[in-house]
Structure 1
Amino acid sequence: MTTPSRLTVLAGPTAVGKGTLAAYVREHHPEVWLSVSATTRRPRPGEVEGVHYHFVSDEEFDRMVEQGELLEWAVVHGRAKYGTPRGPVEAVLATGRPALLEIDLQGARQVRASMPEAFFVFLAPPSWEELVRRLVGRGTEDEEERAARLDTARIELAAAEEFDVTLVNDDVRRAAEDLVSWTRTPVPATKRD
């Protein structure tokens, strides 16, 4: 019988590099399954349907919520909806394969409520100034969107203590390798009972 694996949840403020770490893991550690979130926002340049996100309409997203098909979901930055399809996560965990969710703080809190045995990793920037530089540098949001994201980031940074561990994203390779090592930690027997 296969021993179920423990879900690892990666969360942190906007522009901290969650997507960059997930891309590194996807490329260098194919043994780690990465959940693909559903979102109602428009694709950014280079994002691929089914790889980076499942891009859905508001109506489809609402249907998924109503049918209980999402492990977690939230309206992020007061704009787009994001959520994690439940079925694929549960199926992968049952096989014993390491699984990783890259989500926002609201989603991590929902997952903690429904899957307290998961391992929660807070991704922090090296400094506030670096976070601002990364957000501005990626050039994917207008001034109003950046301001909203930075306001949210201030609040999210204060939530680091809610997580099992804080990982500073000052070196992508090192941070990703640390993250992968945590995905391989088995579920303690007491947490599976």
Structure 2
Amino acid sequence: MRANIYHRIIRHPQPEDAGTVTFTAMVEGYDSKLTTTSSVEEFIDEENFLCPSKGDLYDFLSESGIDEIDGIHGVTEVMFYVSNVTASSDYSPGCALQVSLFLLRPRRAERVGRTSSANNFVVESFPRKIYDKVSSTDEEECTVCLEEFNNGARVVTLPCQHYFHDECAVKWFETNHVCPLCRFELPCQVQP
């Protein structure tokens, strides 16, 4: 399954929308769409399994024919996506967040004879930033290529908060589904 996730930050929302996340989800070939809203804190809380928006999203994916494992992974990835966006410098607690999720079903031929690796859409959904050596207090080198980060380099931040050169992360996740540093597991899908 492939997905595209987009977001929009509303900097001056109506007071009742401040600190909320609104989802719109659509699945290729399914006529209905889902729109649901919850507080950001409630949605990104990994312990809160009863969050209505997470349940609504999972139920919608199930009703549209997405299998259970892909449904769980889909909700988890949206949760991590929202967590990364709200942890970025672009977002502040008084903002509202709108997230759109578009799922594309794999064709039968695409599902046959493939090995497991991280979803391309998962890697693409991770936030990118420009590395600033002066303000960085974290890693000083990419643990995939073992080269030092240069000022202005484009880096990808994983949900575990480790970051890597953009091109190194894409290449790494073509054949792996864990963070190269802490082994944080990303959902898998069938890949070539």
TM-score of Structure 1 vs Structure 2, range by shorter chain: under 0.3
Greater gyration radius? 2
Q: TM-score, length-normalised on structure 2?
A: 0.27
Higher strand fraction (1 or 2): 2
